[in-house]
Structure 1
Amino acid sequence: MTLLSLSNVTAFYGPSQALFDVNLTVAEGEVVALMGRNGMGKSTTVKVICRMLQHRDGNVAFAGRDLRALPSHKVARAGVGLVPEGRRCFAQLSVEENLIASARRGEWDLARVSALFPRLGERRDQLAASLSGGEQQMLAIGRALMTNPRLLILDEATEGLAPVVRQEIWAAISRLKSETGLSILVIDKSLKELATVADRAVVLEKGRDVWSGDFANLTEDVRSRYLGV
């Protein structure tokens, strides 16, 4: 069953058009990679989904519900959990306070997040500002999971992190896929790691979806044309 659907979506920043008839779907239990070079519309697409940017034309639906009229906090309550680019943890709150600040009743609680990321359990009383960049990223993911979402959106969740921390986060994403059946939309540049978790991919170029299909069918021509530096 389709959980998230974007159909012919256009969006603007003032007079400048950023998205041109973008189409994207995520099914229940599916992991979809949203890909493209920097500045091609990936984060703009996320903003439209989460209603931080209003789209002008087309349709955006989540679980069969039109999102156009909803403010961003109600989209979160509907079941969309966002791990934003840049983490945006509450610096002067503790790890535990960050997690419970977004908590909603469901399967994800402090114990389960700590099982996924043991470092958060070990540092639950520390201020978020005192954590390393990798630990803050784990906290951002844990905070999103505490909303007990139906769809988790990861916007550049491993960017700028040390290789060992990146491996921990990819291992956690793999566990989320295999153990929870959570739907995930992931933006990342690492084709090698994406190949281990993504079922499908959608590629954006200058605000347009130019390729979509099974991740295994992402050809070298598509990679070099739309994803290469």
Structure 2
Amino acid sequence: MSFLTLEGVTASYGASQALFGIDLSVGEGEVVALMGRNGMGKSTTIKVICRLLKHSAGKVRFAGQDMSSLPAHKAARLGLGLVPEGRRCFTNLSVYENLYASARPGEWDFDKVHALFPRLGERSDQLAGSLSGGEQQMLAIGRALMTNPRLLILDEATEGLAPVVRQEIWASIATLKKTTGLSIIVVDKTISELRHVADKVVILERGETVWRGTIDGLSTDIKDQYLGV
């Protein structure tokens, strides 16, 4: 059963249309990889899901509720946890304060986040702005988990990070898949890593859904046509 569904979704930035027909579904406990070349609508789709951008046509439903009229803060309260591209930590607040600011009652608390990312516990009193890029990404994921989401959305969670840190982030995503009932959307290009966590793949091209299937179904022709890899 689908937990999140987008059907025929279109959206625009002013007079410039960005999405022309997005079809996407995520089941409970399912990990979906959202793929496509740069500028094809992935981040815009995430904005529509999180209600940071209103869609102009189509349907968006989450946990059985029509999302069309919901503002972003009410959508978040339904259980949407976003790890945005570029991390966007509160750099002038400590690690502890960043986590505390987003905390909501539920399973995820400081102890669980520190168990997933021990370095956040070690640097609890350190300003977020003084952390490395990889540590800030861990903090961004931890901050989203502290909201106790039902759907976690990771927008380019490993982009620009050193290979060893990328491995840590991917390991944390695999742990979340194995040990929680979270539904997860991962926006990423790394097929070799996605292969270990993604239940299915959705590819966007010029603001439309052009392919859906399993990662093993990604033929060379499809990759060449839509992913450029």
**1:158 deviation in Å?**
0.2
Q: CA RMSD in A?
A: 0.7
**Partner Cα distance (2:218, 2:99) in 1:** 37
**1:173 corresponding residue in structure 2:** 173
Name the amino acid aligned to 1:80.
Answer: L
**1:137 corresponding residue in structure 2:** 137
**Partner Cα distance (2:78, 2:135) in 1:** 27
1:64-103 map, 5 Å: 64-103=64-103
1:1-229 map, 5 Å: 1-228=1-228
**Partner Cα distance (2:141, 2:16) in 1:** 32
**1:159 deviation in Å?**
0.2
Partner secondary structure for residue 225 of structure 1:
helix
**Partner Cα distance (1:199, 1:228) in 2:** 22
**1:216 deviation in Å?**
1.7
**Partner Cα distance (2:171, 2:224) in 1:** 27
Output the TM-score relative to the length of structure 2: 0.99
**1:218 deviation in Å?**
1.4
**1:15 deviation in Å?**
1.1
**Partner Cα distance (1:164, 1:181) in 2:** 27
Post-superposition Cα deviations, 1:192-214, rounded to whole Å, max 9, x if no partner, equal 10111000000000001000012
**Partner Cα distance (1:86, 1:171) in 2:** 20
Post-superposition Cα deviations, 1:22-61, rounded to whole Å, max 9, x if no partner, equal 1000000000000000000000000000011100000001
Number of aligned residue pairs: give it: 229
**Partner Cα distance (1:216, 1:73) in 2:** 37
**Partner Cα distance (1:149, 1:221) in 2:** 36
Partner secondary structure for residue 166 of structure 1:
helix
Partner secondary structure for residue 201 of structure 2:
strand
Name the amino acid aligned to 2:165.
Answer: V
Any unmatched runs of 5+ in structure 2? none
Name the amino acid aligned to 1:31.
Answer: V
**1:181 deviation in Å?**
2.3
Name which of structure 1's ranges 215-224 and 149-158 shifts more when overlaid on structure 2: 215-224
**Partner Cα distance (1:100, 1:69) in 2:** 29
**1:91 deviation in Å?**
0.6
Name the amino acid aligned to 1:223.
Answer: K
**1:16 deviation in Å?**
1.1
**1:2 deviation in Å?**
1.2
Identity across matched positions, percent: 71
Large movers: runs of 4+ above 4 Å: none
Name the amino acid aligned to 2:207.
Answer: G
**1:128 deviation in Å?**
0.2
Name the amino acid aligned to 1:217.
Answer: G
**Partner Cα distance (1:136, 1:26) in 2:** 27
Post-superposition Cα deviations, 1:64-117, rounded to whole Å, max 9, x if no partner, equal 101111111111110000000000000111001100101110000000000000
Name the amino acid aligned to 1:91.
Answer: T
**Partner Cα distance (2:206, 2:21) in 1:** 11
